[in-house]
Amino acid sequence: MSNDTTEQRPAALIFGGSRGIGAAAAKRLAEDGFRVALTYVAHADKAEDVVTAIRSQGGEAFAIRADSADPAAIRSAVSQATERFGTISAVVVNAGIFKMATLDAVSLEELDQMIAINVRGVFLSIQATVPHMADGGRVITIGSNVAIRTGFPGSSVYQFTKAAVAAMVKGLALDLAPRRITVNNIQPGPTNTDINAGSIQMLSSMSPLKRVADPAEIAGAVSYLARSESGYMTGASLTIDGGFVL
């Protein structure tokens, strides 16, 4: 493939792309023809596994160590991605953390960390990337169906951070509409990822479909939102949870 052809291919930056939904999204976007930059924090081996898988299929990808709680790291990730790929066509903000604790047990440190990554980090990732996006670009956040409802005590902080993301995309969609950059949020329900390890059977029994999602199913929604067919959708939250919140 010539360099000229490579330059014409779109590029995607995925914050939190080493495991689970982020890894599935990275692979799917690479299948769709995107060059992919993905960030990770602690699992360099997992990130490299994703990069290797993409390259083995003829795609182009690389990994960047960046903590989404660190504004400087977010800016550096964007800088490295644009230095390598130039204009970014799509950004997927998947980085997030989940810590369960009831009101009396939530420490200030845990509260600040979840807000820093799940809310501030999402906003800053978008803010840093958009100046390097072409008009008509795509911003995709990964929220959670708990933004609508949760039946589990101890999830209040996680819930309000994900509700904040759902609200955030509405305002950002209006800000970016003049450039035809769409901003949409995916709200997965229980998914077969590390965060739910040990709880798959229990969560499956609670689902109307009697199973949890495969990360590839969520990645399919990412693929749709990154394509031209989704150009009239913006400021929306897509809940993909097997009927959990019905």
Q: Coil, strand, or helix at residue 53? A: helix
DSSP assignment of 180-223: T-EEEEEEE-SBSSGGGTT-HHHHHHHSTTSSPBPHHHHHHHHH
Longest dimension (CA), the chain: 59
Whether 158 is catalytic: yes
- Say if residues 122 and 74 touch (Cβ distance below 8 Å): no
- Say if residues 213 and 241 touch (Cβ distance below 8 Å): yes
Q: What's the CA gap between 227 and 238, in Å, rounded?
A: 15
Tokens of 52: 């290797």
For helices 44-56 and 20-31, angle between their N-to-C axes, nearest 10 degrees: 20
Q: What's the CA gap between 36 and 224, in Å, rounded?
A: 16
For tokens 């924090």, the residue is: 41
Q: Which of 40, 158, 224, 232 is catalytic?
A: 158
Catalytic residue list: 158
